[in-house]
Structure formats: C-alpha cells, structure tokens
Amino acid sequence: MHIILETTNLSKEYDNKRGIQDITLQLHAGDIYGLLGPNGAGKTTFLKLITGLIRPDRGTITLFNYKMPEYFEAGMQHVGTMIESADFYDFLTANQYLELVARFYPTVVSKRIEEVLDLVGLFQVRKEKIKGYSTGMKQKLALAAAILPQPKLVILDEPTNGLDIEGTVMFRKLIKRMSAEMGTSFLISSHMIHELEQLCNRVGIVVGGHLRREGYVTELLEENQSLEQFYIDELQLPKEDNASA
Ligand SMILES: Nc1ncnc2c1ncn2[C@@H]1O[C@H](COP(=O)(O)OP(=O)(O)OP(=O)(O)O)[C@@H](O)[C@H]1O
C-alpha cells in the first residue's frame, strides 16, 4: 500500500506538560482516516504538527515522501488543510477570499473558484462580505479553501462544527465524491462519531496524548454494534443503561 503520510514517535509537550507522545501512524493513499478522542486528547496538536503549524519536540513526519519540516513546501504542495476556525478577512467577499488563496496555487483558475463555491453551497452568496456570514457559512468557506487546489490529501479538524444538517450532508457527500472520483485521501478529526462511521475506512483513538487504538471500520463493525459502542468500550465509559443522571 502506498504510504502518503507517516509519523513516528511524534511528540510535543506544551509548557503545561500536556500535548502528545510517541504517535506513530501511517496514512495510505485513498484512506479516509478518522481521528477520535475526548476533549484535550491531542488530536488538534497532532494535526498542527503534521501541517507545520507547530514544531515537534521529537519524532519524524514524512508527507508524500518528503521529510518535514525540512521540505515543508514540497510536502505540503498536495495537502489542503482546515485546522481550527479559520481567520478570514471580513471585508472580503467569499469570491475575493478564494482568489487570494488561489494566488498560492498557480494551477487554480477562476472556474475552479466558482466550482468549489458551488460544491460547498456558497455560490449564491459569493459576492457578499464574509463579515455577514454565519459560523457555518465560514466553515463552508474554510472547506472550500482547503479543497480549492484539488489536493491529494485533505486534513480537517472538526469540519462539521457549526454546520447545519444540510451542511453536514453536503460535507459527507463532498468527501465521498472526492474520494471516489479523484482518490483524494482524508485525515479528519471529529467528535461526530456517526458521521465518521459512515465516511471513514479507518479510525484511530487518541487518549491522553497517545494513539490508543486503530482499526479498519469494517472490521470494528464486525466485532461491535457500532463505532460508538467500540469507542465507549475502549474508553470504558459508563454505558447508557448504567449511567447515573
Ligand atoms: N497552545 C497550547 N498551550 C498549552 N497547552 C495546549 C496548547 N494547545 C493545546 N494544549 C493542551 O494540549 C492538550 C491537547 O490539546 P488538543 O487541542 O490537541 O486536543 P484535542 O484532542 O484537539 O481536543 P478537542 O477535542 O477538545 O478539540 C490539551 O490538554 C490542551 O489543553
């Protein structure tokens, strides 16, 4: 299997002693990999390390065969990211914002900007200023920016936060379509476990800064009623029937 991302013993400790330790993970071409884990487990830290937003204390990152951060630009050229709430230039329209993003990618033409605005459902409001957008609309714009250059790998941190039901369905369809039509790979951190169950072929659970378990969704579903059940058992969370109010 063709490995597009590999981390070995990736570690980062913040001043408060929290962070991640020794995360070793491989992503294969075509994977839709879901990262699960409780609040504060280290998912965002892991994604930030991979995309060069923060530097590791220890460990290695290889993206499309390029060692990071030494060959950052080469490694990131096929990667689209949406990590934490994006800061937008409020005074720009969605169209102008994507034109700005497109300057980093010589291959992106204006037709592609219209195409992604349509894909994420913002075409009708593309000429309105971003300051008038809702949280979900901004989230959609961040997704549009992430997929604009038709990356081979898209890294998304809690992408459905703030999306309404229609937006969530759009997001799921978009990922499935990009995966099926272009073979795009995805690494997605999310608490929406039902969403991940429908989307992902693989999942990993991060707990306390460690990658606790990984598995293929089809195999996990053979042994467990649902991904949620697997997660509850793995974290030894109280079951609904036994849980005290
Ligand atoms: N810049 C920072 N400085 C200090 N501590 C941080 C920083 N960023 C994250 N942390 C801590 O590192 C740990 C991991 O945080 P991280 O944001 O990676 O978790 P997460 O799994 O993405 O959580 P969530 O699901 O709540 O988004 C947490 O305990 C958090 O408080």
Q: Which residue has the least CA distance to atom 2 on ligand 1?
A: 14
The verdict on the CB of residue 51 being under 6 Å from ligand 1 is no
The verdict on the CB of residue 16 being under 6 Å from ligand 1 is yes
The verdict on the CB of residue 84 being under 6 Å from ligand 1 is no
CB 108 within 8 A of CB 102: yes
The verdict on the CB of residue 41 being under 6 Å from ligand 1 is yes
The verdict on the CB of residue 45 being under 6 Å from ligand 1 is yes
Please give the angle made by the CA atoms of 228, 232 and 233, to the nearest 5 degrees. Answer: 120
Gap between the Cα atoms of 91 and 101, Å rounded: 15
CATH code matching the domain that covers 1-78+152-245, chosen among 3.40.50.300, 3.40.50.620, 3.40.1160.10, 3.30.70.2200: 3.40.50.300
Gap between the Cα atoms of 240 and 215, Å rounded: 24
- Lowest mean pLDDT of 34-43, 113-122, 208-217, name the range: 113-122
CB 202 within 8 A of CB 33: yes
Gap between the Cα atoms of 231 and 121, Å rounded: 32
Q: What percent of the chain has pLDDT over 90?
A: 69
Burial of 41 per CB tally in 10 Å (0-12, 13-18, 19+)? buried
Q: Which residue has the least CA distance to atom 12 on ligand 1?
A: 19
The verdict on the CB of residue 190 being under 6 Å from ligand 1 is no
Q: For residue 233, report the distance from its CA to the centre of ligand 1, in Å.
A: 24
Digit-coded pLDDT (tens) for 43-95: 999 999 999 999 999 999 999 999 998 999 899 989 999 887 667 788 999 99
How far is the CA of 83 from the CAs of 103, 187, 219, in angstroms? 20, 11, 29
Q: Sketch the domain layout of the chain as residue ranges.
A: 1-78+152-245, 87-150
What is the pTM assigned to this prediction? 0.92
Q: Is the ipTM of this complex over 0.90?
A: yes
What does the DSSP 8-state code read for residue 158?
A: S
Ligand 1 atom with the shortest distance to the CA of 15: 4
CB 74 within 8 A of CB 66: yes
